[in-house]
A and B are shown apart, each in its own frame.
Chain A
Amino acid sequence: MHLLRNLTRRKVRTTLTILGITIGIWALVVFGSMANKINSLVEGGSSYFGDKIIVTDASDGVFGNAPMSLSVARGIDQVQGVAVAVPQIQLLLSTEGRGLSFDIPDQLQGQLAGADQGRETFVLRYTRGRGLAPEDEGRNVVVLGADLARDAGASVGGTFQVRDRPFEIVGILEPTLTAPDTTAYVPLRAAQEIFAESLPPIFRADLDTTDLASQVVVYPEQGADIAAVAARIETQVPNAATLTGAEFDTLVGSTTAIFNAIIVGVALISLVVGGLSVINTMAMAVAERTREIGIKRAIGGPRRRIIRELVTEAGLIGLIGGLLGLILGAVVIVLANEAGRESGTVLFELTPETAFFAVVFSTGLGMLAGLAPAWNAARLDPVTALRYE
Chain B
Amino acid sequence: MSSPPPLLLEGRNLRKTYRLGRGNIVKALRGVEVEIAAGEMVAIMGPSGSGKSTLMHILGLLHGPDQDGGPPPELRVAGQDVTRLSDGARTRMRARQMGFVFQSFNLIPTLSALENVALAPDYAGASSVAAQAAGLDALELVGLADRARHRPAELSGGEQQRVAIARSLVNRPALVLADEPTGNLDTDRSTEILGLLRRFNREQGQTFVLVTHDPEVAAACDRIVRMRDGLISPALEPPALEPAAAAPRSAARESPSVPRSAEPARTPAPLRSD
B167 touches A299 (CB 8 A): yes
Docked-complex contact A299 and B119, CB < 8 angstroms: yes
**Stretch in contact with the other chain, from B107-115, B195-203, B225-233:** B107-115
Q: Which residue of A lies closest to B98 (CB)?
A: A300
B123 touches A299 (CB 8 A): yes
Let me know if B95 and A299 touch, CB within 8 A: yes
| Pairs A–B under 8 Å by Cβ, sample size 12 | A6-B110, A292-B109, A295-B102, A295-B107, A295-B108, A297-B91, A299-B95, A299-B120, A300-B96, A301-B119, A303-B88, A383-B63
Residue B106 is within 8 A (CB to CB) of chain A in the complex: yes
Which listed residue (A2, A299, A302) contacts B100, Cβ 8 A? A299
B249 interface hit (Cβ, 8 Å): no
How far, in angstroms, from A296 to B110 measured CA to CA in the complex?
13
Report yes or no: A300 in contact with B115, Cβ–Cβ below 8 A: no
Residues of A within 8 A of B115 (CB): 2
Give every chain B residue within 8 A of A297 (Cβ-Cβ): 91
* Residues of chain B with a CB closer than 8 A to A303's CB: 87-88, 91
Once the chains are docked, how many angstroms separate the CA of A300 from the CA of B62? 10
Besides A301-B91, A301-B123, 12 more A-B contacts (Cβ < 8 Å) are A9-B110, A292-B108, A294-B106, A296-B119, A299-B168, A300-B91, A300-B93, A300-B95, A300-B96, A300-B98, A302-B91, A303-B91
Contact B62 A382 (CB under 8 A): yes
- B61 CB, min distance to chain A CBs, angstroms: 10
Cβ–Cβ < 8 Å partners of B98 in chain A: 300
What's the nearest-Cβ distance from chain A to residue B154, in Å? 14
Q: From residue A304, how far is it (CB to closest CB) to chain B in Å?
A: 9
Shortest distance between the CB of A131 and any CB in chain B (Å)? 64
Shortest Cβ-Cβ A-B pairs, 7 listed: A300-B95, A300-B94, A300-B123, A5-B110, A295-B106, A301-B123, A383-B62
Query: A300 with B108: in contact, given A2-B115, A383-B57 (CB under 8 Å)?
Result: no
How long is the Cα–Cα vector from A2 to B122 in the complex, in angstroms? 14
Contacting A at CB under 8 A, from B152-197, are 167-168
Docked complex Cα distance between A6 and B109 (Å): 10
A-to-B contact residues, CB < 8 Å: 2, 5-6, 9, 291-292, 294-303, 305, 381-383, 386
Q: How many A-B residue pairs have CB under 8 A?
A: 62
User: Which label, helix, strand, loop or mixed, suits the secondary structure of the A interface?
Assistant: helix
Bound-state CA distance A301–B115 (Å) is 14
B124 touches A (CB below 8 Å)? yes
B127 to chain A, nearest CB (A): 15
Contacts A295-B106, A382-B62 given; indicate if A2 touches B94 (C-beta within 8 A). Answer: no
Residues of B with C-beta under 8 A to A302: 88, 91-92, 95, 123
Contact A299 B87 (CB under 8 A): no
Least CB separation from B107: chain A residue: A295
Question: A299 to B119, alpha carbons, bound, how many Å?
Answer: 9
Could you say which of B94, B120, B124 has the most chain A C-beta atoms within 10 Å of its C-beta? B94
Size bracket of the B interface: 20 to 34
Inter-chain contacts of B109 with A (CB < 8 A): 292
**Nearest CB in chain B to that of A298: its residue:** B100
B102:A300 contact, CB within 8 angstroms: no
For residue B99, which residues in chain A have a CB less than 8 angstroms away from its CB?
299
For residue A292, which residue of chain B has the nearest CB?
A: B108
Say whether A299 contacts B62, CB under 8 Å.
no
Give the docked Cα–Cα distance between A383 and B177 (Å). 14
In the complex, how many angstroms separate the beta carbon of B46 from the nearest chain A beta carbon? 18
Mask, B74-98, CB within 8 Å of A = 1, is 0000000000000110011111101
The residue from A300, A382, A383 contacting B124, defined by CB atoms under 8 A apart: A300
Q: A299-B119, A300-B95, A303-B91 are in contact. Are A291 and B106 (CB under 8 A)?
A: yes
- How far is it, in angstroms, between the C-alpha of A298 and the C-alpha of B106 when the chains are bound? 10
Question: What residues on B are CB-neighbors of A292 within 8 Å?
Answer: 108-109
B181: min CB distance to chain A, Å: 14
What is the minimal beta-carbon distance from B158 to any residue of chain A, in angstroms? 19
Q: How far is the CB of A5 from chain B (nearest CB, A)?
A: 5
Nearest A-chain residue to B97, judged by Cβ: A300
Q: Is B102 touching A2 in the complex (CB atoms < 8 A)?
A: no
**CB–CB A298/B62 < 8 A:** yes
Instruction: Please report the C-alpha to C-alpha distance between residue A382 and residue B110 in the assembled complex, in whole angstroms.
Output: 19
A386 touches B102 (CB 8 A): yes
Report B163 CB to chain A, min CB distance, Å: 12
Query: Once bound together, how far apart are the Cα atoms of A266 and B100, in whole Å?
Result: 52
Whether B110 and A300, one on each chain, are in contact in the complex, defined by CB atoms closer than 8 angstroms, is no
Give A54 to B138 CA distance when docked, in angstroms.
83
Docked CA distance A121–B167 (Å): 73
Q: Closest CB of chain A to B174's CB: distance in Å?
A: 14
